[in-house]
Amino acid sequence: MPLVAEIVETKELVQTVVYAFVAGVGVTVIFSVAIWGAARFVDLNQEERPVAAGAAALVGVLALLAVVAAAVIGVIVMTSK
């Protein structure tokens, strides 16, 4: 009777859990940053602080691009499995 550790390939499983956790949390948090950027852009624009508003918009756009990149990677994973 093989040990459970031998059956499950513990290293592979731990790797899966860590990467899946990082991906799951990462995508959500980065998308939250994109929303934060959009919300701050609107507020700072109304307060007539264009430089700060531009910086917030830049952060938001970069975060959004990161989420889109994650989605593209997701599609590549789907097609290559």
69 near another protein, rule: CB under 8 A: no
Alpha carbon distances (Å) from 77 to 21, 22, 71, 81? 17, 16, 10, 6
User: Binding residue for another protein (CB under 8 A) from 50, 65, 69, 74?
Assistant: 74
Cα dihedral sign for 55, 58, 60, 62? negative
**In this structure, what are the phi and psi dihedrals at residue 47, rounded to the nearest 5 degrees?**
-85, 5
58 near another protein, rule: CB under 8 A: no
Note whether 31 and 60 are within 8 A (CB).
Answer: no
What is the contact mask toward another protein in residues 15 to 54, using x (rule: CB under 8 A)?
xxx-xxxxxxxxxxx-xxxxxx-xxx-xx-----------
Residues at the contact surface with another protein, assessed by CB under 8 A: 2, 4, 7-9, 12-13, 15-17, 19-29, 31-36, 38-40, 42-43, 67, 70-71, 73-75, 77-81
